[in-house]
A and B are shown apart, each in its own frame.
Chain A
Amino acid sequence: MTMRVELDEPKCVASGQCVMASPEVFDQRDEDGIAVVLDETPDDGLLDSVQEAVAICPAAAIRLVEQ
Chain B
Amino acid sequence: MRRILIVGASAAGLAAAETLRRQGYDGTLTLVGDEPEAPYDRPPLSKQILAGEWHPERLALRERSDLAALDLDLRLGTAATALEPADRTVLLADGTRIPYDGLIVATGVRPRRLPGEGAHVLRTLDDALTLRDRLAPGRRLIVVGAGFLGAEAAAVARGLGAQVTLLEPAPVPLAHAVGEEVGRVLSKVHLDHGVDLRTGVGVSEVTEDGVRLADGELLEAEEVLVAVGSSPNTEWLAGSGLTLDDGLVCDEYCAAAPYVYAAGDVARWYNPLFGTRMRIEHRTHAAEQGMAAARNLLDPDARKPFAPVPYFWSDQYDMKIQAYGYLRGHDQVAVVEGDLTERRFLAAYRTGDRLVGVLAVGMPPKAIRRWRQAIAVGTAWHDALAGAAPAAEFT
Interface residues of A, Cβ cutoff 8 Å to B: 11, 13-17, 19-20, 28-31, 33, 51, 55-60, 63
Question: Do A59 and B22 touch (CB < 8 A)?
Answer: no
How far is B369's CA from A59's CA once the two chains are assembled, in angstroms? 18
Question: Do B369 and A58 touch (CB < 8 A)?
Answer: no
B328 touches A (CB below 8 Å): no
B18 touches A (CB below 8 Å): yes
B41 touches A (CB below 8 Å): yes
Known contacts A15-B284, A17-B284; A55 and B18 CB within 8 A of each other: yes
Closest 9 CB pairs of A and B: A28-B365, A33-B365, A58-B283, A58-B284, A60-B61, A30-B364, A16-B365, A56-B287, A60-B41
Report B-chain residues with C-beta under 8 Å of the C-beta of A31: 364
Minimum Cβ distance to chain B for residue A61 (Å): 10
How far is B43's CA from A29's CA once the two chains are assembled, in angstroms? 22
How far is B175's CA from A49's CA once the two chains are assembled, in angstroms? 37
Question: Do B320 and A59 touch (CB < 8 A)?
Answer: no
Minimum Cβ distance to chain A for residue B25 (Å): 15
**Sample of 15 A–B contacts (CB below 8 Å):** A13-B313, A14-B322, A15-B313, A19-B365, A28-B365, A30-B364, A31-B364, A33-B320, A33-B364, A55-B291, A56-B287, A58-B284, A60-B41, A60-B61, A63-B63
Question: Do B369 and A19 touch (CB < 8 A)?
Answer: yes
B49-66 interface (Cβ within 8 A of A): 58, 60-63, 66
B288 touches A (CB below 8 Å): yes
B15 touches A (CB below 8 Å): yes
Interface residues of B, Cβ cutoff 8 Å to A: 15, 18-19, 22, 41, 43-44, 58, 60-63, 66, 283-284, 287-288, 291, 311, 313, 315, 320, 322, 364-366, 368-369, 372
Question: Do A11 and B58 touch (CB < 8 A)?
Answer: yes
Question: Do A59 and B365 touch (CB < 8 A)?
Answer: no
Question: Do B288 and A30 touch (CB < 8 A)?
Answer: no
How far is B311's CA from A56's CA once the two chains are assembled, in angstroms? 11
Question: Do A16 and B369 touch (CB < 8 A)?
Answer: yes
Question: Do A51 and B22 touch (CB < 8 A)?
Answer: yes
Report A-chain residues with C-beta under 8 Å of the C-beta of B313: 13-15, 58
How far is B310's CA from A23's CA once the two chains are assembled, in angstroms? 19
Q: Which interface residue of A15, A56, A58 has the most chain B CB atoms within 10 A? A: A58
Chain B, residue nearest A23 (CB): B369
Question: Do B22 and A14 touch (CB < 8 A)?
Answer: no
Known contacts A11-B58, A56-B288; A17 and B311 CB within 8 A of each other: yes
How far is B368's CA from A28's CA once the two chains are assembled, in angstroms? 12
Minimum Cβ distance to chain B for residue A54 (Å): 9
Chain B, residue nearest A56 (CB): B287
How far is B105's CA from A13's CA once the two chains are assembled, in angstroms? 27
Known contacts A15-B284, A17-B311, A51-B22; A59 and B43 CB within 8 A of each other: yes
Known contacts A20-B369, A56-B287; A15 and B43 CB within 8 A of each other: no
Minimum Cβ distance to chain B for residue A49 (Å): 12
How far is B120's CA from A8's CA once the two chains are assembled, in angstroms? 31
Report A-chain residues with C-beta under 8 Å of the C-beta of B63: 63
Minimum Cβ distance to chain A for residue B231 (Å): 23
Minimum Cβ distance to chain B for residue A25 (Å): 16
How far is B365's CA from A29's CA once the two chains are assembled, in angstroms? 8
How far is B364's CA from A2's CA once the two chains are assembled, in angstroms? 33
How far is B309's CA from A15's CA once the two chains are assembled, in angstroms? 13
Chain B, residue nearest A48 (CB): B22
